[in-house]
Structures are given as C-alpha cells and as structure tokens.
C-alpha cells in the first residue's frame, strides 16, 4: 500500500518514512505543499499523512483541496496542536484521524492499518476483506483460504489486496507497481510476475487471471468459490 507523507521536519519525516517502510508500506515523503499537490496529481495513494505546518502552505488548505477532489482517501493529520477545538475543526474539515506530536511510531502504523481496514473492499464487521474463500486482514497482513492461514510477505499481501480492491478492473504491471513501491525503491523487471506466480502457488492456479498484453485481474467470486473446494495449488504439484 502506498502512502504520501507531507512533513517538513527532517527528523520526524525520516523516522516515519523508515518505520512505515519496515512495516510493509511504500512511503513517498514530501516537505512542501507544492510537492504534496504534485504527488497527488500524478500518483494514487491509499492514505495521506499531512503535517499542518508546511513552509509554503497550510495543512488546512491542503486538506480542503484533498476533500474537494476526493472524498474517500483517508487523511491522518500530524499536528503539534492538541486543543479540543483544533481537533474538532480538523475532523469537520474532513480529516479521518490526527496524531499530536510527539507521537509513537507503532501507534501511527496501527492507526494507518485501522483506517485502511475501514475503507477496504467488502469489509466485514471484523475489518476483513472477503472474496469467496479468500479473506484478507490488513491490520495483521494475514490471509486465509477456507479458514486456514496462508503465510505471505508484505508485498505478496499488497499485490493480492490491490487486485481485490479493484476486482472489476484489469490492472497493468505498472499500476500494481504504483501501489507497491515508493520513490527510489528498486523494482526488479519481473517482480510482479514473480509475486503473481507465488500467489497462484500458495492459493490456487486460477486465483489471478492474466489478460495477455494488458495485465492481471483477480478471478470472479463464483470462480473463487469453486477453487475454494479444491486444495491449494502448492498441494497439488507433487
């Protein structure tokens, strides 16, 4: 999952960037309002972390701009203000949550996962995203197939999550990479193909369709239901 962080404090920005990266997220870090706007215009993000005290533009103005263009993308405001009126104002402007500086990095990561769980596809009361026998738990980076846990790396999980989140679309390799990698991340030329191959092996060979010359799409739910009656592909290739 790709996150946009707007923070001009180098110490805070570096700490958040590294910690969320180690937590399995792809993080793009900008230090000004203009760079924030430019990033939003050229990339798709699953969550925005917005500092109110950027040098060239107020966070409130940027939050208003975000909500004018997109009512769904989650925004967590990072602020030194802790008054109740400040909090109410931000929430009424469209912020989903806020963190008061200084904050705990593990708590920030937990809040990001919680917000992503809330806005995820087909969410159940537990926060799980379901597609036939396949269930994803974003907060724990856990996947289950017919009620049995399947071990995934963070990037394997996010490939599956982005395909489920946009299950009615065929996604190109570039679109999947966009969701997985931040600026400066090294991308192997065949990385997505490898992830797709591994996911098919761990779940079922028919889980992800390849649309020749276009990209990938998760199989329709009725097909997934049929696959769920079969053992995982990794158990059938003796």
**Residue 154: what pLDDT?**
83
Which of these ranges, 86-100, 102-116, 130-144, has the smallest mean pLDDT? 130-144
Asked if the domains at 2-119 and 129-236 fall in one CATH topology, the answer is no
Per-residue pLDDT for 232 more than 70?
Answer: no
Residues 74, 111 contacting (CB under 8 angstroms): no
Q: What is the Cα–Cα distance from 176 to 207, expressed in whole angstroms? A: 16
Question: Rounded to the nearest 10 degrees, what angle do helices 59-69 and 84-93 cross at?
Answer: 30
Q: Shortest CA distance to 37 belongs to which of 22, 17, 54?
A: 54
Q: Shortest CA distance to 145 belongs to which of 137, 157, 132, 133?
A: 133
Q: Hunting for tokens 């500086």 — which residue is that?
A: 101
Greater confidence, 83 or 7? 7
Question: Rounded to the nearest 10 degrees, what angle do helices 105-119 and 10-22 cross at?
Answer: 60
**Residue 127: what pLDDT?**
54
Banded pLDDT at 195 (limits 50, 70, 90) = very high
Q: 3.40.50.720, 1.10.150.120, 1.10.10.10, 2.60.120.20: which CATH number matches 129-236?
A: 1.10.10.10
Element containing residue 164 per DSSP (H, E) = helix 154-165
**Residue 196: what pLDDT?**
93
Banded pLDDT at 124 (limits 50, 70, 90) = very low
Average pLDDT over residues 58-69: 89
Per-residue pLDDT for 104 more than 80?
Answer: yes
* 3-state secondary structure labels for all residues of the chain: CEEEEECCCHHHHHHHHHHHHHCCCEEEEECCHHHHHHHHHHCCCCEEEEECCCCCCCHHHHHHHHHHHCCCCCEEEEECCCCHHHHHHHHHHCCCEEEECCCCHHHHHHHHHHHHHHHCCCECCCCCEEECCEEEEHHHCEEEECCEEECCCHHHHHHHHHHHHCCCCCECHHHHHHHHCCCCCCCCCCHHHHHHHHHHHHCCCCCEEEECCCEEEECCHHHHHHHCCCCCHHHHCC
- pTM, 2 dp: 0.61
β-sheet with 142-145: strand ranges across = 129-131, 134-137, 142-145, 148-150
For the chain, how many residues are written?
238
Bridge partner list, 123: 129
- Model pLDDT for residues 21-44, shown as the tens digit of each residue: 888 788 899 999 999 999 888 887
Banded pLDDT at 108 (limits 50, 70, 90) = very high
Mean pLDDT of the chain: 83
**Residue 235: what pLDDT?**
44
Average pLDDT over residues 214-236: 71
Domain boundaries along the sequence of the chain: 2-119, 129-236
- Model pLDDT for residues 138-180, shown as the tens digit of each residue: 766 788 888 888 988 888 988 998 898 888 899 999 888 887 8
Quick one: CATH architecture of 2-119?
3-Layer(aba) Sandwich (3.40)
Bridge partner list, 29: 5
**Residue 158: what pLDDT?**
86
Residues 62, 76 contacting (CB under 8 angstroms): no
Q: What are phi and psi of 99, to 5 degrees?
A: -125, 130
Which of these ranges, 148-157, 218-227, 229-238, has the smallest mean pLDDT? 229-238
């Amino acid at each position: 999952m790709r996150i946009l962080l707007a923070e001009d404090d180098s110490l805070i920005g570096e700490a958040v960037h590294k910690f969320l990266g180690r937590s399995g997220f792809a993080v793009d870090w900008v230090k000004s309002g203009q760079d924030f706007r430019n990033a939003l215009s050229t990339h798709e993000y699953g969550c925005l972390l917005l500092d109110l005290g950027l040098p060239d533009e107020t966070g409130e103005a940027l939050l208003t701009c975000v909500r004018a263009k997109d009512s769904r993308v989650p925004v967590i405001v990072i602020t030194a203000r802790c008054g109740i009126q400040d909090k109410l104002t931000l929430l009424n402007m469209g912020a989903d949550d806020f963190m008061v500086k200084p904050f705990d990095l593990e708590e920030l990561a937990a809040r990001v996962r919680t917000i992503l769980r809330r806005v995820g596809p087909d969410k159940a009361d537990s926060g799980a995203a379901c597609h036939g026998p396949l269930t994803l738990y974003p907060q724990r980076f856990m996947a289950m197939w017919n009620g049995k846990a399947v071990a995934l790396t963070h990037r394997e999980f996010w490939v599956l999550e982005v395909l489920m989140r946009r299950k009615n679309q065929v996604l190109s390799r570039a679109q999947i990479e966009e969701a997985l990698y931040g600026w400066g991340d090294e991308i192997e030329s065949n990385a997505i193909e490898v992830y797709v191959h591994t996911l098919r092996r761990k779940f079922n060979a028919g889980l992800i369709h390849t649309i020749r010359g276009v990209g990938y799409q998760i199989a329709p739910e009725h097909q997934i239901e049929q696959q769920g009656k079969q053992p995982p592909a990794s158990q059938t290739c003796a």
